Amino acid sequence: MTVIPQGRTEPSLTESEKSFRGLLQIKAFRNLWLAQILSQTAHNGIHYVELLMILQLTNSTGHTGLMVLAFTLPAVLFSAIAGIVVDRFPKRRILVGSNVLRIITALSYIVALQFFSGRFLLVWVYSVTFIASAIAQFFAPAEGATIPMLVGRKRLIVANSLFNLTITGSQVLGLLILFPFIIKIGDSWFGSGNGIQVSFALVAIMYAVASWLLAKLPPDPVLSHMSKTAAEDVESALQRSWRELRGGLSFVRNTPSIWVPMLNLSITATVAMILAVIAPKFADVILRVSKEDAIYIFAPAGIGMLGGTFLISRIGHLFSRENLSNGGLVLQGIVLSVLSLISFYWEGSTGMTAATMVLAFGLGLGFAFIGIPAQTMLQERSPHSVRGRVYSVQYLMANVLGIPPMLFVATLADRIGIPPVTMIVGLALLLLAVWTVWWSARHHPVIPQDELAELHETA
């Protein structure tokens, strides 16, 4: 590995290399990006449909909580073994295979709604949701590990900016626009209650088109020798998996320069979960508007994330990755602290609503500035041979850190109030930013030898 001098910026990029248009001229990357749009929109949309289906079947918030747990728990249970699979087998096959399996799970909901009812139907829905979420754990690290193989190191930050933009857009499209509209159209055209089945059919179609695009990706040459080794290996699959999992964890433990991006990505996911949990109550108690209006008041966060994504794609190469990501932590810490302070004085006022919308824009900027550089650092500082396992460890960390706050933060807010909870989160982010600056100064980033060779080829 080669040490990158602290504070060194990236090699100069041409205008084409800094633009999304130039990136999308790479056919393989364009196919991956289009497949991401379809897969992510379907993935977010099906969560909306699942929650609505459970509400219609049970009219119970408790069952809704079980559904949330069903599609979040697999990330904790399967992300580590998913990384092993991603590192051992061709990523193209994993991407295509996982989407094909998700087609089957989407269609199974339609079958269940036609032929089952009562408790058996609920068990089926929870089980299929759990299985579909487990399959998604294999898709995500394979996709993340494929990006640098298609675009090279110099274009990573631009590629990650585009993928981050796509994730944000697909969340808005799937959760707020497309699938709510499809359900209404389905109910209108095919009768009340049939919109959900139409939505599941659309999800299956979107996954099918994405699978066709992914099948056109180039083969993964890095793992050709590993498949042969796996076929000749006489150890049991469980022993191999455990050994390789320990190898992935060992790489992370022995590579201090990768800790900052892993922690920053995990923390930003946790903050997003916390905000999603407290936003409706914040709208109700602090802003004194309906809980349903929370999505509009916090919508500027999405605009801020989009703006930050575009900004980083244009100027991100001028700054070190650590400074960008740590700057995002500081921004979010300040925004949440200010939001907490003004909540004590402007509660229920029009000014409080306006200030919240402005501060939400800052939160979105922070998400972009934390996430894009951190993801780029994670890709740059892990060699191809273990990158899938590194991603899985990161996903595991994000969910281990994120699920407990998601489940308990509402109770904490009931006990001590929303403003104190917001202040605690803001101060924690500021303290984390101080730690990451100190840690980055002590542990200089490194480039694996395979990435260094690629950099020389593309320079």
Task: Tell me what pLDDT residue 214 has.
Answer: 96
Q: Which residues of 152-180 are buried (b: 16+ CB within 10 A; e: fewer)?
A: bbbbbbbbbbbbbbbbbbbbebbbbebbb
Give the Cα separation of 393 and 397 in Å (integer). Answer: 6
Q: Give, in order, the Cα–Cα distances in Å from 234 to each of 47, 229, 268.
A: 41, 10, 42
The reported pLDDT for the residue numbered 131 is: 95
Q: Note if the pTM is more than 0.85.
A: no
Q: How confident is the model at residue 276 (pLDDT cuts 50, 70, 90)?
A: low
Q: Facing residues of 87 across strands? A: none
pLDDT digits (tens, 9 = 90+) for 313-331: 788 778 888 888 888 999 9
- Flag whether pLDDT at 359 surpasses 90: yes
Pick the residue with more confidence: 135 or 371?
Answer: 135
Q: What is the pLDDT of residues 388-445, one digit of tens each?
A: 677 767 766 776 776 677 667 766 777 788 888 889 889 989 998 898 888 887 776 6
Residue with the two structure tokens 């890709």? 379
Separation between Cα atoms, residue 46 and residue 52, nearest integer Å: 10
Q: In the predicted model, what is the mean pLDDT of residues 111-116?
A: 92
Are 293 and 283 within 8 A, CB to CB? yes
* Structure tokens, 148: 């640098």
Per-residue confidence (pLDDT) for residue 267, from 0 to 100: 83
User: Nearest CA to 375 among 115, 162, 176?
Assistant: 162
Sequence-distant (≥ 6) Cβ neighbours of residue 140 within 8 angstroms: 82, 391, 395
Q: Which pLDDT tens digit goes with each residue over 169-209?
A: 687 677 666 887 888 888 889 887 788 999 999 999 999 99
Q: Which of 430, 364, 383, 426 is nearest to 165 (CA)?
A: 364
